[in-house]
Chains A and B, each alone.
Chain A
Amino acid sequence: MSSPLIDNLKKEIEGAETGARRHEIGTVIEVGDGIARIFGLTNVALQEMVEFETSEGPVSGVAFNLEEDNVGAIILGDYAKVKEGDHVTHAGRILSVRVGEELIGRVIDPLGEPQDGKGPIFASESNAVYNPIESNAPSVVDRSPVNTPIHTGIKAIDSIIPIGRGQRELIIGDRQVGKTSIAIDTIINQKNDTRHRTPICIYVAVGQKQSKVATVIATLEEKGAMEYTIVVSAPASSPASFRYIAPYSAAAIAEYFMNKGQDALVVYDDLSKHAVAYREISLLLRRPPGREAYPGDIFYLHSRLLERAAKLNDKKGGGSFTALPIIETQLGDVSAYIPTNVISITDGQIYLESDLFNQGVRPAVNAGLSVSRVGSSAQTKAMKKVAGRLRLELAQFRELAAFAQYSSELDEGTKRTINRGRVLTEVLKQNELEPMPFEKQIVLIYAATQGLFDAVPLDDVRKTYEEFLSFVDKLHADILASLKDSGELTDDTAAKLKAINEEFRQMKS
């Protein structure tokens, strides 16, 4: 009696290779702290995967340092299993990660293994696509200028520091000032931004506490954002090798979606810890240390990663890969080694300040030091119109803010500018996990720059603008819909908004 299962097995056995296999072999001569030195393997390629044949089963590694008489390899997995004298073979492939739509909604480690206890990610091995973790950035001819916005839902950012799809915008600040919150809000807001297609979001946790990663995942799940999000987790407890490859792994996944013509958004949380992991590996491999003990190629570490973010041209499918790297500073020192490196690589930075945070300004964005170099060309026309005035008024306020304490001796014009600046600062305050749709942002910023809240005591500004937005939502939903659909602020719409402001003013008086 034969069954299809037995027939299949017979076929497999008949087609099996029975010839002898030739392997180049290396021998482990030194092992420790996730690093191994291998004697032999003279034909191994840089970044090629190797397999340690240990007494407790195979362990993977990557050839990382090709020296005159030995190979330095980082061990991906339990390095305690690798012993001196163990044999090492080529795995025959460059370090790569399996990619596909199935990854969406899952939590994985940098090698693509599931970490969420929901079972295997891919149902079968057929048609498996592997993307190399390290790959070249798209060339100049394949790129197109950034022209589509990615709305964060945060007023202060969407108006003053707009981000475009394909841009690299750094989020920088001290610990506990809300860097991750901005990134998470941005991910959550993507499902609200129905005017543009929803990007696949990838959150990469590098060297974070497991508890923080768990909180982020729970928040994304609660807000329904895991439906289009992938979490790549390399927490503080994972080996330095995992923390080092995690961002590259996420970039490989993002490239898969970008090359399919989709949009991807990657949050690298954070690259300071990534640099520390790379320093650890480099020092263990005895590479010469440089400034702050980082190796000489630390700039290249981040530049080659961030250069992979791109907006492809229509010929290449028009996909995009936006990067939001995060850098943690110490006592606001942006002139340290890693922050200056990443600032110079990215297309702008959102600078968060502890002082502002402590004054209750949330998000604690310093509008003066923050900049977006390419985002304005991607900004919605309507937002560009209202934000121009907002930026100008805030700049004037910053200049005069030092004189604010002598307010009784100031002329009327200066007093008005200072008051407007304070009102605008209040208007830009926002709670975390409460992203605001861009059409509402436009209506609100327009009203604030037209002076609708100037007479309101500062403590009541927030309550008043919430009332105003609910008033617009209930009685003038058509204007919100038209702004959402067209993205433009025509003279007609501006006149209508003026009338709405007047109507609200009269209602309140």
Chain B
Amino acid sequence: MRYSARQYAEALHKALEEKKGGERAEALTRFAALIRRNGDKSLLERILIQYERIDLEKSGTVKAEVETPEALAPHVRREIEKAIGKPVMLMEKSDPSLIAGIRILLNDTLRIDASARTMIAGLFSPRK
């Protein structure tokens, strides 16, 4: 039977739960051997992405990548955390090409774009 990346990731997450130090390392080694034995090395990257997603789901944390033209002001950071209403793993990135505004990527799946660059691009987009 073939396992999907999601199934592998769930199994790994269960195996690593409540394990610490040497036990975790041992579990990881066994997991790597299983992947090799099943010939699913090509799934490794997808398994890791799924693992991260499951980990965030279980801990109730939201991963937020925030892009602004300049360094993020502390009050904006607080506002973002308040708006999300859950523990936030916030990563900042400054990108002057945004011109103004903000762009937030949540859990690698949803992007909220309120940057001036996108608004200006929208003005000239041929198909709205």
Identify A19's interface contact among B111, B114, B126, CB under 8 A.
B114
Besides A24-B111, A25-B109, A29-B49, 10 other CB < 8 A contacts? A16-B119, A17-B119, A18-B119, A21-B113, A21-B114, A22-B110, A22-B111, A23-B110, A25-B111, A89-B111
- Asked if B122 CB lies within 8 Å of chain A CBs, one says yes
Identify A24's interface contact among B50, B110, B127, CB under 8 A.
B110
Q: How far is the CB of B65 from chain A (nearest CB, A)?
A: 10
Q: Given A16-B122, A16-B123, are A39 and B112 also a contact pair (CB < 8 Å)? A: no
Identify B109's interface contact among A16, A17, A24, A30, CB under 8 A.
A24
Q: How far is the CB of A124 from chain B (nearest CB, A)?
A: 10
Determine the distance from Cα of A68 to Cα of B119 in the docked complex, in whole angstroms: 34
List, in ascending order, chain B residues with CB within 8 A of A21's CB. Answer: 112-114, 118, 122
The 8 A CB mask of A3-30 against B (1 = contact, 0 = none) is 0000000001100111111111111011
- Asked if B18 CB lies within 8 Å of chain A CBs, one says no
B119 nearest CB neighbor, chain A only: A18
Q: How far is the CB of B50 from chain A (nearest CB, A)?
A: 6
A92 nearest CB neighbor, chain B only: B127
Cross-chain pairs A/B with CB under 8 angstroms, 20 sampled: A12-B123, A16-B122, A17-B119, A21-B118, A22-B111, A22-B113, A23-B110, A23-B111, A23-B113, A24-B109, A24-B111, A25-B108, A26-B109, A27-B49, A40-B109, A42-B109, A68-B4, A69-B46, A70-B5, A125-B126
Identify B114's interface contact among A12, A20, A93, A128, CB under 8 A.
A20
B43 nearest CB neighbor, chain A only: A69
- Asked if B16 CB lies within 8 Å of chain A CBs, one says no
B50 touching A69, Cβ below 8 Å: yes
List which A37-56 residues lie within 8 A (CB) of chain B: 39-40, 42
B110 touching A70, Cβ below 8 Å: no
For chain A, which range describes its interface: under 10, 10 to 19, 20 to 34, or 35 or more residues? Answer: 20 to 34
List which A274-317 residues lie within 8 A (CB) of chain B: none
Determine the distance from Cα of A16 to Cα of B128 in the docked complex, in whole angstroms: 11
B102 nearest CB neighbor, chain A only: A20
Nearest 3 pairs between A and B by C-beta? Answer: A20-B114, A23-B111, A21-B113
The 8 A CB mask of B80-113 against A (1 = contact, 0 = none) is 0000000000000000000000000100111111
List, in ascending order, chain A residues with CB within 8 A of B105's CB. Answer: 25
Q: How far is the CB of A171 from chain B (nearest CB, A)?
A: 38
Q: How far is the CB of A109 from chain B (nearest CB, A)?
A: 17
Q: Given A69-B5, A70-B46, are A27 and B108 also a contact pair (CB < 8 Å)? A: yes
- Asked if B13 CB lies within 8 Å of chain A CBs, one says no
B104 nearest CB neighbor, chain A only: A20
B6 touching A68, Cβ below 8 Å: yes
List, in ascending order, chain A residues with CB within 8 A of B118's CB. Answer: 21
A286 nearest CB neighbor, chain B only: B42
The 8 A CB mask of B43-54 against A (1 = contact, 0 = none) is 001100110000
Q: How far is the CB of A433 from chain B (nearest CB, A)?
A: 41
A22 nearest CB neighbor, chain B only: B112
Determine the distance from Cα of A23 to Cα of B108 in the docked complex, in whole angstroms: 11
The 8 A CB mask of A458-476 against B (1 = contact, 0 = none) is 0000000000000000000
Q: How far is the CB of A153 from chain B (nearest CB, A)?
A: 42
A13 nearest CB neighbor, chain B only: B123
List, in ascending order, chain A residues with CB within 8 A of B45's CB. Answer: 29-30
